[in-house]
Structure 1
Amino acid sequence: MWTPVANLEEFKDGRLVIRRPEHRRPILLLYTGEEVFALEDLCTHDGGPLHEGEVEEGAIVCPRHGARFDLRTGRQTLPAPRPLKVFPARLEGETVLLDL
Structure 2
Amino acid sequence: MNDTPWTDVIGADELPTDDVIGVLVAGRDIALYTAGDAVYATDNICTHGHARLCDGFLDGHEIECPLHQGKFDVRDGTPTCAPVTEGLRSYPVKIENMRVMLQLD
Asked whether the two chains share a fold, i.e. TM above 0.5, the reply is yes
1:42 equivalent among 45, 49, 54:
45
**Counterpart in the other structure of 1:2:** 6
Whether the 8 Å CA contact 1:37–1:72 is kept in 2: the answer is: yes
How far apart, in 1, do the equivalents of 2:37 and 2:60 lie? 15
**Secondary structure of the residue that 2:54 maps to in structure 1?**
helix
**Secondary structure of the residue that 2:31 maps to in structure 1?**
strand
Which ranges of structure 2 fall in alignment gaps of 5 or more residues?
none
Whether the 8 Å CA contact 1:10–1:16 is kept in 2: the answer is: no
1:27 aligns with 2:30: yes
Q: CA deviation at 1:12?
A: 4.2
**Secondary structure of the residue that 1:51 maps to in structure 2?**
helix
CA RMSD, 1 decimal: 1.7
Identity %: 31
Q: How does 1:71-86 map to 2 (within 5 A)?
A: 71-76=74-79, 77-86=81-90
Query: 1:57/1:12 Cα in 2 relative to 1: closer, same or farther (>3 Å)?
Result: closer
The alignment's TM-score, normalised by the length of structure 1, stands at 0.85
How far apart, in 1, do the equivalents of 2:88 and 2:37 lie? 22
Query: 1:12/1:49 Cα in 2 relative to 1: closer, same or farther (>3 Å)?
Result: same
Q: CA deviation at 1:33?
A: 4.7
Q: CA deviation at 1:47?
A: 1.2
Q: Which has the higher strand share?
A: 2
Instruction: Give the AA of the match of 1:34.
Output: D
2:56 equivalent among 50, 53, 68:
53
How far apart, in 2, do the equivalents of 1:10 and 1:40 lie? 19
Aligned residues: 98
